[in-house]
Amino acid sequence: MPDDRPAQGKEYKSDAVKKLDAFFSGNARAENRRYAREILKDSALPTLAAVAEKAKGKMSLPDQQSKHFRDHWFNVGGAQVEQEMRRGYEDAMDRAEPGNLPIETSWMWGSQIKRFEILVSTEPQRVKVLVRIPEDVYKAAYEGL
């Protein structure tokens, strides 16, 4: 079976990231940001795995992708990944709000990346989120697919 993983150090978008982009970039993006903020603050949803499970219908996220987030990304990376994901997307939503800008996400993994982090930048037509993933975290999560 060919290895279809993206190359190290290159930005890429998985199918789940494309769904996330559509959620934060479509005509209902302001409403979707409000929804995302609500569920991120919902005490009945204490983990991002629970948030992803609740949001999967609204985001059109297939069960397989929701399960992958729950079973792999959030378990492999632990609390640091969870905290950074929350911080990064809250920052992105704050930046997108004033101009109702779309939020677009890319992922990058590699041996040169030492910790999981989210870089957020504001561009004239969008807010860009770059999720940087250390090689060990990426491989552990990928092997669970």
Name the least confident of 1-10, 11-20, 110-119, 124-133: 1-10
pLDDT of residue 45: 85
SS3 67: helix
For residue 73, the model assigns a pLDDT of 64
Q: pLDDT tens across 19-63, in order?
A: 889 999 988 999 999 999 999 888 888 888 888 888 888 888 877
Query: Which pLDDT does position 36 carry in this prediction?
Result: 93
Q: Which two tokens stand for residue 21?
A: 């982009």
Q: How far apart are CA 122 and CA 59, in angstroms?
A: 23
Domain ranges of the chain: 15-142
Beta bridge partners of 119: 130
> Tens of pLDDT along 61-74?
877 777 776 676 66
For residues 113 and 124, give the distance between their C-alpha atoms in angstroms, rounded to a whole number: 27
pLDDT above 90 covers a percentage of the chain that reads 46
